[in-house]
Chains A and B, each alone.
Chain A
């Protein structure tokens, strides 16, 4: 559909479309289900694209992007910061760890995580928490990747030991970081 307006599809990632004129001005469009980001070399290009797209689709212009898929975008002169602190805050509150004492590492290397041979402990709650943390991990928090990778192996039968380890990740989250891209 979009291709008819002279956009080129990025063959490596089919949700990315580009359109550039000979002088190097143009736009890049990113699609995610029903969300869209338009990135242009200048404002005129962006507005032109919006006009084309809104003539075809029913869409709402949210102006400059502040939040996409729950990730907040903060700009200043030299950098772009992606942050999920408000999401992480929500998770901490939901799992009653908002007032916990922070720790400085996500995983205690001296604790060996072994398979639970007994009955699962709050299995549903555990898998919900894994899901929440995994979302943060894939978006802006590479620092907890290993901890989540290990803990998620026990989602079907978590023991107190695993709960202890996952609570540590929540405590680690009290020391908030945000992902920062320097441009």
Chain B
């Protein structure tokens, strides 16, 4: 989502065992010149968080090893294609840097990136105001459930 100053908002969420464990919604600090670029900025910060979460799990002895790559879902096909393509023909250095960063994490088996439809994207409520049905749907997906009497 663009603000008046044309800065986009990044949003990502990680779930484990059906519940949200880490999330963020942040206004981007640099101006992206296309949707793909702004998605790439978000993807990079999500990937870094994913790498960190994986490191934590790695040092928990009970967690089964080896740890499979963390699957990151992205709702933009262009970004996905760009991430799996090792050539970046863009002109700007700040995006090229992020491209290499994501590429490295994919190559090292830390993350994989998969496509998800916008309507199924759990991170959608972090980047735009949604209507009631989608708010409900994504909240359930995050592991938020309505209060029930027995928990009072």
Interface residues of A (CB under 8 A from B): 8, 10-13, 16, 18, 20, 24, 26, 28, 41, 74, 81, 83, 85, 104-109, 114, 141-143, 145-147, 149, 153, 175-183
Contact = CB atoms under 8 A, between A and B. Distances in A.
A109 B61 contact: no
B151 A143 contact: no
Interface of B: 4, 9, 11, 13, 16-21, 23-27, 52, 55-56, 58-62, 125-132, 135-136, 138-139, 142-147, 151-152
Given A24-B62, A146-B128, 6 more contacts: A12-B58, A83-B151, A105-B130, A142-B142, A149-B27, A182-B19
Given A12-B55, A178-B151, A18 B60 contact: yes
Contacts of B59: 8, 10-12, 16, 18
A179 B143 contact: yes
Contact of A109 (B9, B27, B130, B139): B130
Nearest to B124: A146
B150 to A, nearest CB: 9
**Interface residues of A, dominant DSSP:** mixed
What 3 pairs across the A-B complex have the smallest Cβ distances? Answer: A109-B129, A181-B19, A182-B18
B101 to A, nearest CB: 18
B55 to A, nearest CB: 4
